[in-house]
A and B are shown apart, each in its own frame.
Chain A
């Protein structure tokens, strides 16, 4: 029985490792400035994880393979209550490995979360609502119009509550898709009208909640032109699974041309661009 168990444990171990190192089910290709660092940290961690996993399962398999009760009288286990030296050794080693991983990982975190967007970043405000994304663009004047919940009226398509009296908002546009420039820092200001949502583009390797009552800023730089799927990754109610949109990463000239357009033409142009670019899924 012990040998069967050992073999099964080893087979499971092998298959599991094969699944991890079969690149078929891996991340889609990263497209932002910090994704190489993310992917490197992930790979280092998953190697440590894989090695520890394999070592522990191999050892467990070996123990059940080797140490069976033979039923012979007098054939007894080794009488030992342990070894303080071993306890110290493995405690110290795991502490060093685990805490080093935690400390190493902080650089990716810091690069994404501890720095404000550099000056000259392209800024978009995202206002999520149940099952729909609204992205608010500042327009030709580069100034966001004032918004207030009292102006929100989904019926007349003022989804984000733009103040009709505010001059800065006259040239603003709101679309369901996110359009950003390539190779230029982007700042997203994330807000929600109702419940918590989450911004998730797998190729960007980060998630961020959109919390009602808060404005959360994130910044990143995308470096590959294309169309990418954008999902809500925080349970937000009935049609959560359908709260989908796209992120368009555009060449700078295409984006500035878009930015100059008034609302209706802006929306039409975004629709054209969504057709123009094929979906990147790898």
Chain B
């Protein structure tokens, strides 16, 4: 494959107008920033929702006048209704999983840095890339609409013109179903209670749109990585970030279509009267199916089918969220440890193993669903097997740090935080992955603790690390390290203070998705923990404003950064900060070395860039053909 074909096919001139440059841009760097901005907006919505949930759980009967002002029907008298709380649960999960954890790590940083790190001028299909962002944005607008259509009477009425199932205005901020939207609750429509009308339709539509956007993105990532690597960039010379983004794209390509199909079937059940997920003979809110126009005849559907389809997507989704964070962590650890990644090949195999096994473990979400108890045994053993490549990654991160010379930048602190949190969150998978122990732990706060630490917080730490690390490249300026350190310390301690007590609550038996725990005597002794978590959450959330301030302030006022401020080795540090429109100003780099050549004996500096023609790196003789 020659460099010339790349240029012939993919070069597009730099746009001049504002709209083509910053809005409808086909430049992967702009699109990457757009994805990051989308995630930054979405995460605020999700975070505020979690704060509201904590208020309700800690002070279930206290009157908060501000709540009544903001949500007159959701919090009459300043106290949240149960349906309002449950819609917060649903939307917090949906927005965080789809529009934060799936957009920023892959669509954001992946889009920006994958082409540069492999030495390409852009993605393989720049217009498709633009389209995938805009489709995703439409998905986000639709999910916001789901908030307002349920929260606002007028809008809810207006939507009713589309059909009876589209009526909203139930005084919530969205549907009630959890981010997993289990049928038949999610499929029955308004008869099943508040939050089952227009909001649920828009929820399903939003997810379906999101799936399309992610699919387009995944195709682009895979094609770009396979076809557009620059001269000398063999697969095993790619940074681990690229392996992670590539594997994530493969997972997305194979799992999102299943969710797309499931979402469409759910919509048909809701709107067209089909029965994919609704069995016969249901009696809901005093009405038997088929005896009333509000509840048409349904028969023959399977609620468990929804769970299989959802989790066939849902489990790989966990890895879609975390793999880019793993990639960024490996990359940043090596850079600031000034040491090659320990066991590069093992890391690549581990990423692949996690991706592959990730498709065979979805049943561990369904141990108590009523599916065959024999399949649970298989799913259980496969699930614990996936712990092996995860542990291998942890060992290799520790191996990378061993004998290193660490520079404690904020990016490095967050990468180290990622390792700590990934271990803490991941290790409890040993409990939940056993079908027998899941019997009691299922749907408890123990589960909430597990996935928030490993998929939520660890992934976000990966993204924080990536932001502090790549910001100088993206904007030509540094973020403030002092503000960043304060942000790190509060967040690191804060997330542990929030999520470690969740485990104890779960062991005690506290179920998830309860708007109040005052009904149950056996849970009285966890009240102090509930309060501790709320206080920690308020402090941690407040600290995130430091990050936002730092981010936007530094874009304009941060200290100027050079081309390679961290003394790193990979291709993104071979170009200007920020890179020109075509990334390398018309001359694609040639690669001579592996991605993490730090502390090479005999080299003049403690790092050898991938493009360094002169450097001699031990053990590379087989690959040095390009030199001559």
Contacts and interface: CB of A to CB of B under 8 A. Distances in A.
Contacts of A60: 398, 401, 416, 419-420, 423
Interface in A48-96: 48-49, 52-53, 56-57, 59-60, 63-64, 67-70, 75-83, 86-87, 90-91, 94-95
B624 interface: no
A129 to B, nearest CB: 7
Contact of A64 (B377, B406, B435): B406
A202 B509 contact: yes
Contacts of B289: 149
A163 interface: no
B517 to A, nearest CB: 7
B368 A238 contact: no
Contacts of A242: 82, 519
Nearest to B279: A213
A212 B300 CA distance: 11
Interface bin, chain A: 35 or more
A102 B526 CA distance: 30
A86 B278 CA distance: 52
A238 B176 CA distance: 8
Contacts of A212: 184, 279, 282, 303
A109 B288 contact: no
Contacts of B392: 87, 90-91, 94
Contacts, number: 358
Interface stretch (B46-54, B110-118, B497-505, B546-554): B497-505
B395 A211 contact: no
A46 B431 contact: yes
Interface string A106-150: 111100111000000000000001100000000000000000111
Interface string B315-340: 00000000000000000000001111
Contact of A281 (B419, B440, B515, B521): B521
B237 to A, nearest CB: 13
B412 to A, nearest CB: 9
Given A20-B504, A25-B525, A79-B340, A195 B188 contact: yes
Given A95-B388, A109-B436, A213-B279, A76 B405 contact: yes
Contact of B406 (A19, A68, A106): A68
Interface in A208-248: 208-209, 211-214, 216, 229, 231, 233-242, 244
Given A114-B373, A207-B368, A279-B521, A234 B182 contact: yes
A82 B342 contact: yes
A252 interface: no
Nearest to A46: B431
Given A25-B525, A242-B519, A82 B343 contact: yes
Interface in A156-180: 161
B369 A211 contact: yes
B368 A198 contact: yes
A16 B194 CA distance: 39
Nearest 7 pairs between A and B by C-beta?
A213-B279, A78-B403, A82-B343, A202-B509, A108-B436, A25-B504, A77-B339
Given A102-B380, A154-B286, 5 more contacts: A49-B427, A67-B405, A80-B339, A207-B440, A240-B514
